Amino acid sequence: MSSTQKLHDLGQSLWLDNITRAMLDDGQLQRYIDTYSVTGLTSNPSIFDAAIASGLYDGEIASLAKQGIVGEDLFFTLAIEDLQRAADLFAPVHERTDGVDGWVSLEVSPLLAYDTDKTVEWAKELHGRARRSNLFIKIPGTPEGLPAIEECIASGVPINVTLLFDVDQYVACFEAYLRGVERRIAAGLNPAVSSVASLFISRWDAAIATKVPEELQNELGLTVSLEAYRTYCEIMSSERFQRVANSGARMQRLLWASTKTKDPKASDTLYIKGLASPFTINTMPDSTIEAFFDHGEIGASLPTDGGDYLERKEKFAAAGIDISALGKQLQKDGAQAFVKSWTELLAKIEAAAAK
């Protein structure tokens, strides 16, 4: 049995953190589903920026531009077409799991990360245009994104909350989701609106690589994960969640994001082995999932009580790392990085349209 199948059988969903027109056309995505136990897919502005740069979209971009479709509208036309095809490939998983798995994700413009009203407007618009029940709209878990998340859930739009880094951000995201669910219950609506909370892992270790002793390198991401998983398990057993679950609500699943190892000296499957945990998702790029399929090992499941996360945090504090401040900075930097990719993406589309 392959390592990817073993991880799937442990109870973790393996999602691909990539999409290109090529992998849809040549059957690569279907092979990942059939061979690597992949059951979902995520995308972001950086991923689409790289896809557009391949030149495979140039002909369609030029055609759409001649029809007067330009800028962001042109991009979303291309992205939705790809994600509709991917969503259809995952539809059997979605149906078999009664909507728990088999999702794809499309992100709102990163330029809206700090604009609540516009985020809600675009999330509803994009979900309506996609016409797929297994498509998440990605909204950043910034302070301004939280009320947008609540409003979208209350409106029945499934949401993938992105750019979460620390436990405080994760809890705030879950509470926004829960408020949306509670509003649906109060209104007599079906509360089973799906959502995932995407916690970014590897960027923690990249941020402090030169600031901590060797024994603490590549350990902060896993430390944050231990605390987050403990919190996730506590939330699932909380009275507040159990009340809404009794009305038909579902748990907002925890998703491990940014799980490609950044340190070339570390294992290329570091964050796959270290984040094995049931009823969670690990979304990983092609190279990481292929590496795990080839030579990955499954570690012990994350402890539901967080294990030694407190002792680990104390070591980082002693090394001068302010985890709370760093989490805020990472979220800010992540939002800015997506804006940069978005700007470059639109510039590539404009150049292709002008050919």
Per residue in 168-221, pLDDT (tens digit) is: 999 999 999 999 999 999 999 999 999 999 999 999 999 999 999 999 999 999
The residues near 249 (Cβ < 8 Å, ≥ 6 apart) are: 181, 185, 191, 192, 241
- So what's the pLDDT on residue 183? 98
- So what's the pLDDT on residue 96? 98
DSSP state of 1: -
- So what's the pLDDT on residue 55? 84
Residue scoring higher pLDDT (111 or 102): 102
Mean of pLDDT values over 275-283: 98
Q: Catalytic residue among 124, 138, 262, 315, which?
A: 138
Tell me the pTM: 0.96
The string of DSSP codes covering 294-343 is HH----PPPPTT-TTHHHHHHHHHHTT--HHHHHHHHHHHHHHHHHHHHH
How many other CB atoms are there within 10 angstroms of residue 283's CB atom? 26
Catalytic residue list contains 332: no
pLDDT in tens, 240-258: 999 999 999 999 999 999 9
Lowest mean pLDDT among 46-55, 98-107, 203-212, 262-271: 46-55
CATH number, span 3-349? 3.20.20.70
| Mean per-residue pLDDT of the chain | 95
pLDDT in tens, 281-326: 999 999 999 999 999 999 899 999 999 999 999 999 999 999 999 9
CA distance 305 to 234: 9
